Structure 1
Amino acid sequence: MVKETFTDKLIKRFYGITGPLDEQKRQQVDRMGNKAFIVLFFTLLFGNCIAFLLSFKYPELVARVYPILLLIIIWVVGSILTYKFKMSAVNAIDEEELTEKEQKQLKHVGLKSGLYFGISMFLGMPLVQFLVDHKDYFTELFSIRNMLSGIFDAILFGAIMQGWVNARIKQAKSQTDKDDQ
């Protein structure tokens, strides 16, 4: 058995691929990733040129609008990429191809991701308040509002992630049932 390289692990994690990264999945990932890279590269190239030229006359407008436009463009490209992967079933979860370690990781993925997200929000939001409003970090950290917000964020995010993984498993099962018929 060939040991997975760090790059393969990153590719699998980024695109949500479970099981082995075989030649077909690698080709589809490379093809779609290259298309997304080309779109984003030229968007940044021309967008930066336009922003540079407009910044002399409208610096405040460029500072406010340009990051928002980039965020929207990146979100659209990411959504299209996610849709294409869903249609090609590259990242569908096939329980038969999973190792024991991957099956254990999928068992409570919502709980784990919710816990990590909740802790990061619990620690991160007072930092934002400290940097933006110059409020005391520890006072904001241990405030009731921050604690309740962290718990709510963890529960909501964990439930969404668990539902998403369950939907992917259900989709893979229906796809295999459809292929068997």
Structure 2
Amino acid sequence: MRETVGTKVIKWFYGIRGPLDEYRRNEINRIGNNIAIFLLMFNLLLAFIASLIILATDNYEFTLSVVVGSMLFVVFGIYIYIIYEIEHHRLAQVDIDAKQVVKTKKKIFKKAIGLGVYFAVGMYCLNILTDWLPDRGSIVPLLTERSRVIEAIIMGIYFGSAMMLVDFHHIKKNPERIDGRASSIWQQQKRWSIICIILIVAALFAICLF
């Protein structure tokens, strides 16, 4: 049976690989319902508090800061909750054959590179936008500032590496069936990946210093 777009989005959001069976679907529905109920109550409470702040202080900028800060804090908390539930109920765990371990980890490595690039570009654009909006002067100096590029690259490397380690953690395999040659190949790839990350970070710090 072909997966719908909604199912693909759900699997991508929760980091689930393989079929979305009844157990995983029920757990995802439970997590989503808990989040929806909490957000409904939080939005009502936040709207009430924001109204009180405006009536008491007549300071709209302060009220906006409180609302935005509270929403960001809640989003971060919800993300932590989702990670806990996924790990606790092993929703993202992948059962693979020993022969597919190296191939699966190659896909994860390529995916991590793509996520790191997307995150770096997104943070680079967001950083420039937040600095440009208050004054709205020339945007060219912001685009060519070296520290911004280096900061975005470092954040992309760390984000991609973190996502790669999380995906590696979700792989379940039988150690007794692992092919020695496949394991040796992966160890070499892992070693070179770590060396490349270290060299990139060292080069970026050298550029910052000189």
TM-score (norm 1): 0.79
Deviates more, 1:26-35 or 1:54-63: 54-63
Structure 2: 5+ residue stretches without partners: 175-210
Aligned Cα root-mean-square deviation (Å): 2.5
Question: Could you say what secondary structure the match of 1:56 adopts?
Answer: helix
Amino acid at match of 1:114: G
Q: What's the CA shift string for 1:62-84, capped at 9, x where partnerless? A: 33323222322332233223212
1:148 aligns with 2:157: no
Pair 77,93 (structure 1): closer, same or farther in 2 beyond 3 Å: same
What is the distance in 2 between the residues matched to 1:42 and 1:137?
Answer: 41
Amino acid at match of 1:13: W
Which residue of structure 1 aligns with residue 38 of structure 2? 39
Amino acid at match of 1:141: L
What is the distance in 1 between the residues matched to 2:123 and 2:68?
Answer: 23
Q: What's the CA shift string for 1:82-110, capped at 9, x where partnerless? A: 212210011223335xx9xx946424222
Which residue of structure 2 aligns with residue 62 of structure 1? 63
Q: Percent identity, aligned pairs only?
A: 26
Which residue of structure 2 aligns with residue 137 of structure 1? 139
Runs of 4+ with >3 A deviation = 102-105
Which residue of structure 2 aligns with residue 178 of structure 1? none
Question: Could you say what secondary structure the match of 1:18 adopts?
Answer: coil
Question: Which structure is larger by alpha-carbon Rg, 1 or 2?
Answer: 2
Structure 1: 5+ residue stretches without partners: 175-181
Q: 1:39-118 to 2 correspondence within 5 Å? A: 39-60=38-59, 61-95=62-96, 103=104, 105-118=107-120
Residue pair 1:111, 1:158 contacting (<8 A) in 2 also: yes
Q: 1:1-16 to 2 correspondence within 5 Å? A: 2-16=1-15
Pair 53,121 (structure 1): closer, same or farther in 2 beyond 3 Å: closer
Counting matched residue pairs gives 168
